[in-house]
Chains A and B, each alone.
Chain A
């Protein structure tokens, strides 16, 4: 399939590329310049550029939106909300039947869920709250839902949260990995984050109950806070890394930094 990836130079993009590049034709786009390690087709493009996204999506089979912007108010709306609008306008214009959206789990299961409940699952009604990142992503998701409803576009949304390096289970937090501490009960290794995108791109439509389906992306974790059953059952996603080093007291020796994304 021909796949347009938006926001592909971020943290998740390279791992999605790794999972997809030998199986599909990829046009990678990002607001930033091409990563020096990436050798495939590339277009510098802001996801908020509606006309540009429409143009880039011509002749594509699938659009994958991995763009993210958190702290700046204007940019967050431009990227997280308007970016999804651009993606859906492009899908409608070109008759693209499937888009893959991404975001944080709390764009749906916001703080009012997380602070109170367990067994949170991706089919709950969204309640993002007003925190900028969650809110803007939730608005983007709502745009996707409406377009899906009205135009029959298949929207598969992958919700992530805490990504970990597979070799030492460190994340984006400073100070290196922490072992034998409480962990975020929604943690996933980067390579598995990428294979989830592959699973979403390739899942047969017949396996999807509706045209707008959302999935929590994380391996089996013992906390019972969130539920990952759906992604395993529907997408057949099998995480390779169980991040058990974070939730049991086995010790892992961190190796050198390794960047195997591309």
Chain B
């Protein structure tokens, strides 16, 4: 499969790219001021450059949370306009699947004792533009899915991302690197997902904050990693 990964300089993109590179053709891209090495520098403006970026691509993995740094206005612009441009180009190019990497921090204002699932409305911060931006990216993605222009898998991962879950860890929503990678891999391969599908993923930890039944249902190979 030919896969494009955005915000390739970000830590999340590196986790995913490293795990997929053995089985897929990976094209890495980032904004021109971030791109380095073999990444394609692209500012995700509308036009031929972005069309070229997605040409021949089967699936896009978009880092929709903490993929970029910068001012609040830059982040808002990236998460709205740039995402729109990417999806617009993708839908015109026949990209079949768009995997958006989002965050369960969209629910961080909910009390921990609530049984939050994909059926719950997110409650993003207006103060933290990284989180507001993640929310805005989801909104953009959903409209492209609603218009049936591209199928979107919206993966909301718990935080923080960790190498391994330690027994005495106080993180109740931590997600391990290998679970992130495995979830993305399964999302690419699954043919059970609809045009728009939210999936919540975190590692099994003590006092686990989020329910991951949807992930277990759609990605049965992950079942062992999603429960203790």
Contacts and interface: CB of A to CB of B under 8 A. Distances in A.
Interface of A: 50, 73-74, 77, 81-82, 85, 88-89, 92, 112, 127-130, 135-136, 138-139, 142-143, 146-147, 149-151
Nearest to B47: A73
B143 A129 contact: yes
B143 A128 contact: yes
B149 A82 contact: no
A85 B76 contact: yes
B146 A77 contact: no
B197 interface: no
B11 to A, nearest CB: 26
A182 to B, nearest CB: 26
Contact of B136 (A88, A112, A130, A139): A139
Nearest to B73: A50
Interface string B66-87: 0000001100110011001101
A151 to B, nearest CB: 6
Interface of B: 45-46, 72-73, 76-77, 80-81, 84-85, 87-88, 91, 123-127, 132, 135-136, 139-140, 143-144, 146-147, 149
Given A149-B123, A150-B125, A135 B84 contact: yes
A130 B139 contact: no
**Chain A binding surface SS class:** helix
Contacts of B84: 73, 77, 130, 135
Given A139-B140, A146-B132, A150-B125, 14 more contacts: A50-B72, A73-B46, A73-B84, A82-B73, A85-B73, A85-B76, A112-B147, A129-B146, A129-B147, A130-B87, A135-B140, A135-B143, A146-B135, A149-B123
Contacts of B146: 112, 127, 129
Contact of A150 (B73, B76, B127): B127
A252 to B, nearest CB: 39
Nearest to B124: A146
A236 to B, nearest CB: 30
